[in-house]
Amino acid sequence: MADLPVSDKSIVFQDDDYRRLFHLEDHHWFFQARRDILAHLLRHFAFTGGATLDLGCGTGTTTLQLADHSQEVVALDLSLTALRLAQQRAITNLTCADGTRLPFPDQAFDLVTALDVIEHIADDVGALREVHRTLRPGGLCVVFVPAYQFLWSNMDTYSHHARRYTRRLLVEQFRQAGLQVRLASYINSTLLPAVVAVRLLRRLSPPPEDHLPEMEIPPAWLNSLLRKLMAAESHAATRLPLPFGGSVIAVGQRP
């Protein structure tokens, strides 16, 4: 990993928060379910291996998962702290760079994943164009983003999100980037009513700004249940797009 300088704008979390994320990515139901969904999508679209880019790899749990499906995986993030934590997972093929200026040649990858990444990028269409540029013809990208601007919360502000998405918006951005949309669906639909209720209650009675329940792991029984509820929806989404949900997933392909 090159010891590249990182500007303040590139930092999504502070160092201590990345260390917290290192633990959360292993054990929190949301990250576990997101990996379950990714595994289902790779099977559904018959991804058979090849060069893979984990764009916005964080502390590397998805990178490890992708290594089981790919001949080579490159992990890329803007945060050196995140990349150094990824090194603790024995991940070695690490790159520190901006998602809108990927330091790779054209048609370098068969698969690019960007899981809860492009909402952090001001020029998200520009990042998707870079994904298109670095994909080989027929190559796939998997994108996962938070849904609905009305669900904006302290967690979005804390995470330096630029926006939340609708399915229609993400599909349009794929098309602007030249990517053929193979699948686009909401996900985390079962839990959406509870999420909406909690967000509304917090607006009526705001918690302290530094209190972020999303960064806490629920009791084991609840953590397991929430993971199963969210992950199970991926099977339905690949048959028929779900009409609403707390997140949006999309699979694109370079023609």
Candidates 182, 101, 195; CA nearest to 153 is 195
Which pLDDT does position 4 carry in this prediction?
37
Of the pLDDT bands very low, low, confident and very high (cuts 50, 70, 90), residue 210 is low
Report pTM.
0.92
Residue 10: phi and psi, rounded to 5, are -85, -10
Class of domain 8-253: alpha beta
The average pLDDT across 85-101 equals 96
Name all contacts of 13-18 with Cβ < 8 Å and 24+ positions apart: 13/79, 13/159, 15/81, 17/215, 18/58, 18/59, 18/79, 18/81, 18/82, 18/85
- Residue 3: pLDDT over 60: no
- What tokens were used for 58? 């964080």
Which pLDDT does position 139 carry in this prediction?
98
- Residue 131: pLDDT over 80: yes
Of the pLDDT bands very low, low, confident and very high (cuts 50, 70, 90), residue 46 is very high
